[in-house]
Amino acid sequence: MEKEEQEILKLKKIIKETNTIIIGAGAGLSTSAGMLYSGKEFESNFADFIKKYGFKDLYSASFFNFKDPQEFWAFWSRLIHYERYTMPPKPVYQNLYKIIKDKNYFVITTNVDHFFQRTGFDKKRLFYTQGDYGLLQCKTPCHKKNYDNKEIIEEMFKVQKDMKIPKELIPKCPVCNGPMYPNLRGGDYFVEDEGWHEAAGRYNDFLQKSKD
């Protein structure tokens, strides 16, 4: 028997015998579930941006410093539309859920695509440490609150033209009227709102109750 197969069987036995499980998940899990950062799908959905800026993959493109906010939101609404609201998770997440759904589990993840919640994992057992593609925040930030973005993102996606959205769709902070930004950790501007802290508290409670 191969060493890798032995490790899988060992893990299977441990999972079967234990009642308490913590899942720590990073980008590799979403990649295995179909999150495509390069290849034909990326080239098809972002052909215009690739032609103009020479983007090689979606990950590196997400760090590009767009000077024009209309272009910035054309790119980001397209990215969020596909990866947060359109792309269905492949069986990787469903299979994982089947394995642990009857266990006392908690998920801590750096992924921002919400594949866990969209698959059926209990929202109260999830801690998204690095943000959520489905939220907007003040870029400054002038206050610690995040806002659901589905409606505005889908509108941007539908009406964008020539790699730009209409100026009137550029999201403004409802408090300071400054620029909004996706709620993604990347600097001191990242907003850890009330929901973030509640999830962090539930995770810490789970650790304390399960420490033995």
DSSP 132-154: EEEEEEESS-SSS-EEE-HHHHH
Query: Is residue 100 in some structural domain?
Result: no
- In this prediction, residue 100 has a pLDDT band, given cuts at 50, 70 and 90, of very high
CA distance 134 to 190: 14
- Cα–Cα–Cα angle for 80, 85, 90, rounded to 5 degrees: 110
Q: What is the mean pLDDT of residues 68-73?
A: 98
Residue range 25-49, pLDDT digits in tens: 988 887 777 666 777 888 999 999 9
Better-predicted residue by pLDDT, 204 or 211: 204
Report pLDDT for 35. 66
Query: Is residue 175 in some structural domain?
Result: yes
Query: Is residue 71 in some structural domain?
Result: yes
Residue range 175-201, pLDDT digits in tens: 999 999 999 998 889 999 999 999 999
Query: Is residue 118 in some structural domain?
Result: no
Residue span of the structural domain in which 44 resides: 21-94+107-113+131-210
Query: Is residue 155 in some structural domain?
Result: yes
Report pLDDT for 34. 67
Q: What is the mean pLDDT of the chain?
A: 93
* Residues 163 and 49 sit within 8 Å (Cβ to Cβ): yes
CA distance 24 to 47: 34
Report pLDDT for 36. 64
Query: Is residue 32 in some structural domain?
Result: yes
Percent above pLDDT 70 for the chain: 98
Query: Is residue 123 in some structural domain?
Result: no
**Domains: count for the chain:** 1
Which letter, b or e, does each residue of 50-69 get, where b requires 16 or more Cβ atoms within 10 Å of its Cβ? beeeebeebeebeeeeeeee
Query: Is residue 43 in some structural domain?
Result: yes
